Amino acid sequence: ILAIAGIAGVVFGGSLANWCARRWGLWSQATMIALLKTIALPFAALLYLTNDPWVGLAAYFVSVLFASCYLGPTFSLIQTLAPVRMRALWASIILFVNNLIGLGLGPTAIGALSDWLRPFYGDDSLRWALFIGLMATPWAIFHYWRAGVALKRSGFIKNTAES
């Protein structure tokens, strides 16, 4: 499910971001990511709250499909906004942060939270730790939305076809 939904989400996100940028301008890519992550959020919450495995699998698929749409447009924005001589540095910084938090701090923090919740929730402690971790998503959504607003106000690259 992760591979199919993830690949489909990345391809769909990139295609949709290109279409949005041509139609409305570069700023719409950040706004599109905020919208798609907002759509994914309730499905991710449903995944952690349901006891039905089929509902959980369906919610997981939809959540991964929409949540993974950020990757291509994010790197596109970074590469477009970065000065030519700093593009590699900016890309390496975003990869470092994604990997440090996403693969380093994130799982460790969720595991520690699950251990802390175990006396209260028993075998469901991991479910609730993941659900609590999910509550950081609105913070990311807010920042993508604000990036879109800032890019729109700046008038930066109205139409990517012109650049």
Residue 64: alpha-carbon gap to chain centroid: 9
pLDDT digits (tens, 9 = 90+) for 101-128: 888 999 999 999 999 999 999 999 999 9
Please state whether 122 falls in left (phi above 0), alpha (psi between -120 and 50) or beta.
left
Q: What is the pTM of this model?
A: 0.87
| Tokens read off for 50 | 């349901």
Query: Does the pLDDT of residue 8 top 80, yes or no?
Result: yes
Question: How much of the chain exceeds pLDDT 70, in percent?
Answer: 95
CB neighbour list of residue 88: distance below 8 Å, 6 or more residues apart: none
Over residues 59-94, the pLDDT tens digits come to 999 999 999 999 889 988 888 889 999 999 999 998
Which positions ≥6 away from 137 have C-beta within 8 Å? 37, 40, 41, 44
